[in-house]
Amino acid sequence: MNDYKALCIDIGASVADAARTLEVNVQKICLVVDDGILRGTVTDGDIRRSLLKGIAFDAPVSKAMNPRPRTLSDTDNRDAIQSLMREHALLHLPITNAGGRLVGLVSQDDLTSEDQQHGNWVVLMAGGLGERLRPLTNDTPKPLLQIGDKPLLQSILESFIKQKFGKFYIAVNYHSEAIMQHFGDGSDWGVHIRYLEEQQRMGTAGALSLLPELPDEPIIVMNGDLVTRTRFGELLDFHASHRADATMCVREYDFQVPFGVISTNDHRISTIDEKPVHRFFVNAGIYVLNPSVIDGIARNTRTDMTQVFERIIAGGGETAAFPIHEYWLDIGRIDDLERAQSDSKIGRDA
């Protein structure tokens, strides 16, 4: 790869700087350098692991990076490179010279021309009433509200297609005919779309019981009112690597107490914490579920996704939290829609 310099950040940069670099490049790696010397690498997985450990986004990138990445010598030949990448299942290898100075980067894309499609099904939940967006949703289902120059659900679909997914189900209920007419069988986008038609309100997971057959692989389930740049292939890799039955995407949410918080020991004040900030992970509305989990959802019964996860946890199953650091916005209210439209305009003008 010739443009490796676009992937470089200085050792003095922050975790947030690395995350931004990852978000705008397709190579999925950030190279941390100190005056041209390679000091470490940061991948999407490194960022998510650091978030789970509680490392703040404004912390030094050294807190999240791999300080001892595998590297290539600038004298290695193609056969040696391919062998090393296969042996260790590597997606990238930085190239350094004898002095440790970064001089290039090799990726799997440089060594193969394969255009492999994901076989996993994607289920998009698009049956909501959009009550908080009325009157806009009186005659238009929320997934068909315009973001930029296209409906929200179309942007979601095209994001998956760009990331090489081609098999979709769309769960519909409110104004279902409008959604089905717009997307049809998916042939206009070169993909296959089928529909899960809810005859009653079935919650955020109940429509999965309408699948005509169980899939062979884990499926991705996503609410149809989200704008995000989440990398779904990495989500599937994370799910598989943690051997999870179900994985939930989560977002960090900060809440600042607007007062000084007092801790006491009997009548004595022991500490005063002025306007502390509490950080939580919240449900981001994107999931990966194994076929066995779908098989356990009662047919034609209202079921929320939180109930699905609670059942797995109670039964001793394996669940995982996948932290999202990329752009993410839930279109739940009018001001959310306006923000998404504004962000879309900024993206086009950039």
Q: Which one-letter DSSP state was computed for residue 72?
A: E
Sheet of 37-43, strand order: 8-10, 29-34, 37-43
- What pTM, to 2 d.p., does this model score? 0.70
For the cut 80, the answer to whether the pLDDT of residue 155 exceeds it is: yes
Q: Over the stretch 122-146, which tens digit does the pLDDT of each residue have? A: 999 987 776 666 777 677 788 888 8
Q: Of 83, 111, 139, at which residue does a domain stop?
A: 111
More confident residue, 269 or 86: 269
For residues 323 and 201, membership in a common domain is answered with: yes
Looking at residue 297, what is its pLDDT?
A: 93
Tokens standing for residue 301 = 């019964």
CB 28 within 8 A of CB 43: yes
Domain count, the chain: 2
For residues 96 and 228, membership in a common domain is answered with: no
Highest-confidence segment of 20-24, 94-98, 309-313, 328-332: 309-313
For residues 106 and 125, membership in a common domain is answered with: no
Task: Look up the domain containing 340 and give its range.
Answer: 118-349
CATH number of the domain that residue 333 is part of: 3.90.550.10
CATH number of the domain that residue 66 is part of: 3.10.580.10
Q: Of 57, 83, 111, at which residue does a domain stop?
A: 111
For residues 28 and 129, membership in a common domain is answered with: no
Q: Of 88, 111, 134, at which residue does a domain stop?
A: 111
CB 285 within 8 A of CB 249: yes
For residues 207 and 314, membership in a common domain is answered with: yes
CA nearest neighbour of 282 among 319, 312, 241, 253:
253
Pairing outcome for strands 29-34 and 8-10 = parallel
For residues 197 and 332, membership in a common domain is answered with: yes
CA atoms within 13 A on the CB side of 189: 22
For residues 242 and 151, membership in a common domain is answered with: yes
Q: Over the stretch 13-60, which tens digit does the pLDDT of each residue have? A: 999 999 888 887 777 788 999 888 999 999 888 888 888 888 888 899
For residues 177 and 276, membership in a common domain is answered with: yes
For residues 69 and 209, membership in a common domain is answered with: no
For the cut 50, the answer to whether the pLDDT of residue 332 exceeds it is: yes
Looking at residue 249, what is its pLDDT?
A: 96
For residues 61 and 173, membership in a common domain is answered with: no
Looking at residue 265, what is its pLDDT?
A: 86
For residues 124 and 107, membership in a common domain is answered with: no
% residues pLDDT > 70 (the chain): 87
For residues 154 and 210, membership in a common domain is answered with: yes
